[in-house]
Amino acid sequence: MKKRKLTWATYKHLLGRVSHITHDWLTPVDFLPYIDALLGDIDLDPCSTYDANVQFLKAKKIYTLKDDGLNVEDPWTGKTYLFPPTFGRCSFSKKRGTWRWSSKAAGNSKAPSIIWFKRLVREWKLRNIPEALFFTTYPEMIRICPEMWDYPVCILKDRVNTIHGKDFYTLKTPLFWGYFIYLPNLEFGFNQTDKFVDVFSNLGKIIL
């Protein structure tokens, strides 16, 4: 994995030039063993690219930007990992009855993390997804999405070393903070969060 040392001005320029989903940031490779320890084989990543999935997460099924995983009519199924887009906005179309992600949107739009998380929770509540792990670097979600606190959360103690989605490099000085939200397996009616606590307490503060 290549590392790039950049000036702050270059950092800002780089963030502003993220213009396509294939350029977006990917889950830090350091987190992959923890994700694997919690979920094992991942059935679905609804927000990915083929190259990224082959290189890193290796989910059995993915949805790409072209597939529009946010709005696919088929239910999301199986153990799911989700890291939504870190840029752009989601706008709701009354005509279509759906949210659409784009690099730019109107004033009534919402952050992708909020909208993707709501779809994930809906599929989990319908029991299409037995278990899921959500990761985001969007700090405002903590404030404007109170329903996230209905689930176990891991607030990471260090900045996250995300991977550039096109060229697969990391920044020598990470920019983002992040956190995980766990939607537990409710098999037999019990809230099974102990494994999440055991695994992710190595990375940060667990809030139940």
Q: What is the pLDDT of residue 16?
A: 44
**Dihedral in degrees, nearest 10, Cα atoms 157, 200, 62, 11:** 10
- Give the separation between CA 197 and CA 207, rounded to whole angstroms: 9
- Give the separation between CA 65 and CA 46, rounded to whole angstroms: 9
Q: What is the mean pLDDT of residues 174-199?
A: 83
- Give the separation between CA 93 and CA 185, rounded to whole angstroms: 33
Mean pLDDT of the chain: 81
Q: What is the pLDDT of residue 138?
A: 87
Predicted confidence (pLDDT) at residue 167 exceeds the cutoff of 50: yes
- Give the separation between CA 1 and CA 29, rounded to whole angstroms: 9
Q: What is the pLDDT of residue 8?
A: 45
Top mean-pLDDT range of 44-58, 61-75, 127-141, 182-196: 127-141
Q: What is the mean pLDDT of residues 169-191?
A: 78
Q: What is the mean pLDDT of residues 84-95?
A: 70
**DSSP state for residue 41 in the 8-state scheme:** S
| For the chain, percent of residues with pLDDT exceeding 90 | 40
Q: What is the pLDDT of residue 207?
A: 95
Q: What is the pLDDT of residue 191?
A: 62
Question: What is this structure's pTM?
Answer: 0.83
If one compares 55 and 131, the residue with the highest pLDDT of the two is 131
Q: What is the pLDDT of residue 10?
A: 52
- Give the separation between CA 183 and CA 2, rounded to whole angstroms: 33
23-74 pLDDT, tens per residue? 677 788 889 999 999 999 999 999 887 887 777 888 999 988 888 888 888 9
7-19 pLDDT, tens per residue? 545 554 455 445 5
- Give the separation between CA 36 and CA 101, rounded to whole angstroms: 28
C-beta atoms surrounding 46 within 10 Å: 26
